[in-house]
Structures are given as C-alpha cells and as structure tokens.
Amino acid sequence: MRHILFALVFSAAGIWADETPRYSYQADHAHVIGSCQGAFRVYDRGIRFVSGEPKDSRNWTFADIKSVMIPGPGQITIFTYEKDPKKVGMDRAYKYTIKGAGISEEAESFIEGMIKSGQPAATIAAGPPYVLMVVHEHLVGSCNGKLTVTADGVEFISDDPEDSRRLKWTELSKAESEGSSVVKFWTHEDDTKKLGMDKVYSFRVKGAAVGDDLMGFVWEHLQPQS
C-alpha cells in the first residue's frame, strides 16, 4: 500500500504544482493516537493536506469526496469513498482542526458547492457504453477510478496503473450487484488468496445507482459463456 499512497501524493502534487490555492490554512490532523500538523489547502479542483509527514498527506478531487461536516469554523471532517479499515461498513473520515480564525464562510460555501457539483450523476446514463466513477475495493484498502462496460467487455482505469484491468466477456465467469451501489465481476483466474476460488473484482459506484439496465446488459453478454 505504501507505493500506492506515495504515487497518489506525488501525482496529485504534480497536477496542482502550478496552481495557487483559493484558501490555505494551518491545521492539525487528528489520528487515532496523536496528531500531525500541516497545510490545509483548497483548490479549484479539490483539497490537499500537506503534512510534514508524507504518509499523512492527502489529495482529493471534489469527486473523490463523499461529503464534509463543518460544525464550526475551527473544524472540518472529510468523508471519502474509502472503506475505514477500523470500522467495518463505514466510510473513511479525515478530521482537521483549523488554526487561527478557522474556515471562512466563503470557503465553506465554496467547498460544499464544489463537492455537490463534483458528485457523479444520481443515475448512470443509458448505454452502452456505461461509464461509472467507482472505488475498487481491495482485500486491504481501495483505489479510485473509472469503470467502463461495453460490448467488448469491462475496463477499469485506476488512479494507480497497477490496479487497472481490461477484461473481455470470455474472461468473466459471472457478475452480481449488491444493493444499488456495488457491482462485482468474477473471472476465470484463480484467487491466490482463496485457494480454488475464482478471482473477484468488487466496485462501489460513487453517488449513482446500479440499475437493471446496466446489469441486464452485463448478464446478456455473459449468457453465451454459461
């Protein structure tokens, strides 16, 4: 996971290197035990926390943020689409204490407005192709990316190239949806961590519902394989 974290930190830093933040504050980031200090910066495309400890630095586009809670000018909690490794079934939250006068009302309105506008559509546009912004759930941790479903198969483009996949329908054994937000694809690969089991790729869709139209298309293309 370390290489994934550093790839995200430095790739995002490169993207925003030439941009001046709209708002910048000094902040404390609360950990389960202790805290760290750094710069909390709000850009046109997202939020960065730059810590003196690189492992605690974070970069999010507004589409990567599920919601925020700002109970007062001195506090902000960012909820992401990541799974919380310590709280089963909960979204991961990052809590920051803003120093000085705290977050201005203007900054608060900007953040909340950009998160709302940065969310994926409430429904998946009719396809094919079907294009979904998703979280790919790993055994430990997760990554963000774009899932595209076409007549040729399924392609996942991750923010970490090592996790990107392109799978033809002939490489898939089955697919299922869990509720309205999770879709899973099984391949004919053996899962090295689960002896004798087919490998499964699980995707949690950001802000949209997995509907009958998408799953019907998937099952139609899997049918010839059964």
Residue 185 has pLDDT above 90, yes or no: yes
Query: Is residue 94's pLDDT more than 80?
Result: yes
Phi-psi region of 196 (alpha: psi -120 to 50; beta: other; left: phi over 0): left
pTM: 0.58
More confident residue, 120 or 11: 120
Name the residue with tokens 């490169």: 14
CA 45 to chain centre: 15
**H or E stretch including 153?**
strand 153-158
- CA-nearest of 208, 209, 210 to 63 is 208
Stronger pLDDT, 158 or 19, i.e. the higher one: 158
pLDDT, tens digit (0-9, with 9 covering 90-100), for 203-224: 988 866 777 888 999 999 986 6
Q: pLDDT tens-digit profile of 129-138?
A: 888 888 888 7
The structural domains of the chain, ordered by start, are 2-118 (2.30.29.30), 130-225 (2.30.29.30)
* Coil, strand or helix at 13: helix
CA 186, chain centre distance (Å): 21
E strand spans, 31-141: 35-42, 46-51, 58-61, 65-72, 75-83, 91-98, 130-137
Give the phi and the psi of residue 58 in degrees, each rounded to 5.
-140, 150
Residue 39 confidence (pLDDT) above 60? yes
